[in-house]
Amino acid sequence: MSETIFSKIIRKEIPADIVYEDDLCLAFKDVNPQAPTHVLIIPKKPIPKLAEATDEDQALLGHLLLKAREIAASLGLGDAYRIAINNGEQAGQTVFHLHLHLLAGRPFSWPPG
Ligand code: DGP
């Protein structure tokens, strides 16, 4: 697994606006927000992308989603938010450390661009 900027954020080697942390995951504000609220939720385990997660990661993946729910509630987002995962370059992934985007605070169109 190659090192990414997110590994450095996990190790606190570079700063980030952290909104939640536990043993398994870290959530911080996206440096290039695409909505008034834009938080990234990442596993501390460096899985490059969803396609490379394994059955062993089942509990971890569930943890990320449930934490996204909790973080959304703690930020007062109500039920108006979007969770997105970009998998692979052609789908818009630029940082190859699995992350959930939690976006809120504006209308979202469907399908996404
Ligand atoms: P994606 O395109 O799905 O791989 O999303 C990567 C996101 O990561 C993108 O929205 C910008 C964000 N990002 C990249 N580098 C940094 C950083 O150093 N700090 C923070 N907070 N966010 C970053």
Ligand 1 centroid to Cα of residue 56, in Å, is 26
Query: Residue range 76-93: average pLDDT?
Result: 97
Best probe residue, ligand 1, of 28, 31, 42 (max atoms within 8 Å of C-beta): 31
- Is the pLDDT score of 10 beyond 80? yes
Is 99 one of the annotated active-site residues of the chain? yes
Q: What is the number of the ligand 1 atom nearest to the C-alpha of 14?
A: 18
pTM of the full predicted structure?
A: 0.97
pLDDT of res. 53: 98
pLDDT tier at 36 (50, 70, 90 boundaries)? very high
- Is the pLDDT score of 66 beyond 80? yes
Ligand 1 centroid to Cα of residue 47, in Å, is 15
User: Which residues neighbour 1 within 8 Å (Cβ) at sequence distance 6 or greater?
Assistant: 46, 48
Using CB distances shorter than 6 Å, the residues near ligand 1 are 5, 16, 28-32, 40, 86, 92-95
